[in-house]
């Protein structure tokens, strides 16, 4: 598993991304594959969170990961070393993935036998939020060092996400981070947002988050 | 100073941003105004670093700040409360500023009497790096919690910057951050990059960084 497949994805040819995203979701439904789109800033802990998530769920679900990066295969190599089915998507400088680009990745991942495919989107709070990737659920990570004011500054990503993981709570004591204010600002943007405080490093809070994800995957496959 | 002017900037109409950026730099040269473009991820400490920078230099230079944000005037209000000439630029969802957009901001800031105009770009390591704003120098902040592997993943921003400020060194003990590796990766992308480790919170390292900036402003005005 140490050799990671690196895919150079091309700019999407589809004019209407929303139509394309809906079509992709329908195809995934037929295959009983749940696609999760994970977004965050650079360095908020996407890869470590994914490792914890996969560790918790791998005995119950068949999982595949697409690591999207502008360059490098750092994250994909880390995932692959843990024995997770992983491919690296190179966006060639592009700051986001749309549905057409995601579909190119899914084809290479061969999702037929997967219950859960996870897209680790490009590290960016702005552009990825603007494009429906075809995912069933959108999840974002905000880490404690980034500050509790981010829903005020980056509204769209909080609006389009179903879940907010507040990562790095193990360093809460060292930062001026107000969890109550974060929740207030985040729910102002999106009253339906589920919020799970976690520490991908220590494992705290991972149980509650993965329980939610497991239920969501089961529900999608029951529908 | 508590009332902050909020400017909605429009998408640029110029086809060739590089030409536009060079023209803007020439105009700033005539006015003896040095434009600094500050880029980073969300939450790396741009605003706190700016406050420290202005504090150090405000008796020697006339400084004006443009805070670019998708929404909110959080940062501009903080700056204005400290008595710094500040305007807020709203990008209307856009993930970066180009030269035309920057010029709209400079007009509102009224740079005629300023030695140093600072653009706090949108929090994003990807898109802002692709557009020359017309700045004399480009500076980026990477904070310790973001990790030392970022030059591998976001090559372009390290290539286009003159200075890298490594912020939040006061929390180095709480993160798996390898400063030697960061420098190695950053210099791999750009051997000319100046690197200053700082803590905007404690003030550590601010002297060296502001000394560099002061010299750069003097040099621009001497040329």
ipTM for the complex? 0.85
Provide the pLDDT for residue B71: 74
Q: Which of A6, A42, A70 to mutate to test the interface with B (most CBs of B within 10 A)?
A: A42
Percent pLDDT > 70 in chain B is 96
Which of A43, A122, A174 has its CB closest to that of B146? A43
* Cα torsion angle, B57, B52, B87, A94, sign: positive
Question: Count H helices, E strands: chain A?
Answer: 8, 8
The alpha-carbon radius of gyration of chain B (Å, integer) is 16
Size of interface A-B (CB pairs under 8 A): 110
Q: Cα–Cα distance between A75 and A46 in angstroms, integer? A: 9
Structure-block tokens of residue B98: 């180009």
Across the range B135-156, mean pLDDT stands at 96
Q: Do B122 and A123 lie within an 8 Å CB cutoff?
A: no
Question: Does A93 reach chain B within 8 Å, measured CB to CB?
Answer: yes
Helix H or strand E segment including A36: strand A34-40
Question: Count H helices, E strands: chain B?
Answer: 8, 8
Cα separations (Å) of B50 from A19, A90, B40, B206?
43, 34, 12, 10
Q: Do A143 and B174 lie within an 8 Å CB cutoff?
A: no
Q: Are A43 and A198 in contact (CB under 8 A)?
A: no
Which positions in chain B touch A152 (Cβ < 8 Å)? 71-72, 74
Across the range B82-103, mean pLDDT stands at 88
Q: Are A38 and A50 in contact (CB under 8 A)?
A: yes
Q: What is the DSSP letter of B43?
A: T
Helix H or strand E segment including A138: strand A137-143
Which positions in chain A touch B143 (Cβ < 8 Å)? 43, 145
Residue B31, Cβ density class (10 Å: 0-12 exposed, 13-18 middle, ≥19 buried):
middle
Which of A71, A145, A146 has its CB closest to that of B155? A71
Q: Cα–Cα distance between A79 and A209 in angstroms, integer? A: 19
Give per-10-residue mean pLDDT for chain A (223 aa).
Answer: 68 80 95 96 93 94 91 79 87 86 92 91 92 97 96 95 98 96 98 98 98 97 78
Q: Are A48 and A63 in contact (CB under 8 A)?
A: no
Q: Cα–Cα distance between A83 and B74 in angstroms, integer? A: 44
Q: Which residue has the tokens 């998507």?
A: A89
For residue B45, the chain A residue with the least C-alpha distance is A146
Helices (H), chain A: 17-30, 46-57, 74-81, 99-109, 150-153, 155-160, 179-189, 206-222
More confidently predicted of B83 and B11: B83
Across the range B101-124, mean pLDDT stands at 91
Which positions in chain A touch B147 (Cβ < 8 Å)? 43
Structure-block tokens of residue A206: 């991972």
**pTM for the complete prediction?**
0.90
Q: Which of B68, B76, B145 to mutate to test the interface with A (most CBs of A within 10 A)?
A: B145
Question: Does B206 reach chain A within 8 Å, measured CB to CB?
Answer: no
**Predicted confidence band at B1 (pLDDT cuts at 50, 70, 90)?**
very low
Which positions in chain B touch A202 (Cβ < 8 Å)? none
Which positions in chain A touch B168 (Cβ < 8 Å)? 145
Cα separations (Å) of B93 from A153, B10, B123, B199?
10, 11, 12, 30
Write down how long chain A is.
Answer: 223
Which of A72, A122, A154 has its CB closest to that of B42? A154
Q: Cα–Cα distance between B60 and B78 in angstroms, integer? A: 22
Residue A2, Cβ density class (10 Å: 0-12 exposed, 13-18 middle, ≥19 buried):
exposed
Which positions in chain B touch A125 (Cβ < 8 Å)? 42, 123-124
Provide the pLDDT for residue A135: 98
Farthest CA pair distance, chain B: 48
Which positions in chain B touch A70 (Cβ < 8 Å)? 126, 153-156
Q: Do B150 and A126 lie within an 8 Å CB cutoff?
A: no
Structure-block tokens of residue B127: 């898109």
Q: Cα–Cα distance between A34 and A79 in angstroms, integer? A: 19
Q: What is the DSSP letter of B84?
A: -
The residues with which B138 forms a beta bridge, in sequence order, are B37
**Predicted confidence band at B12 (pLDDT cuts at 50, 70, 90)?**
low
């Amino acid at each position: 598993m140490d050799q990671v497949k690196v895919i150079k994805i091309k700019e999407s040819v589809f004019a209407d991304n929303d139509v394309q995203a809906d079509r992709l979701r329908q195809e995934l439904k037929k295959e009983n594959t749940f696609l999760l789109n994970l977004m965050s800033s650079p360095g908020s802990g996407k890869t470590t969170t994914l490792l914890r998530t996969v560790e918790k769920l791998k005995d119950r679900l068949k999982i595949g990961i697409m690591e999207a990066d502008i360059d490098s295969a750092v994250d994909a190599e880390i995932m692959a070393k843990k024995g997770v089915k992983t491919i690296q998507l190179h966006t060639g400088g592009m700051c986001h993935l749309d549905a057409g680009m995601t579909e190119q990745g899914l084809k290479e991942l061969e999702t037929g036998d997967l219950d859960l495919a996870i897209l680790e989107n490009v590290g960016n709070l702005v552009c990825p939020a603007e494009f429906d990737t075809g995912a069933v659920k959108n999840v974002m990570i905000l880490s404690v060092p980034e500050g509790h004011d981010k829903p005020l500054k980056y509204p769209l990503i909080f609006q389009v996400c179903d879940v907010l993981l507040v990562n790095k709570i193990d360093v809460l004591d060292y930062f001026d981070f107000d969890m109550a204010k974060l929740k207030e600002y985040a729910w102002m943007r999106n009253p339906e947002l589920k919020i799970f405080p976690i520490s991908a490093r220590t494992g705290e809070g991972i149980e509650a988050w993965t329980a939610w994800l497991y239920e969501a995957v089961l529900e999608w496959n029951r529908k």
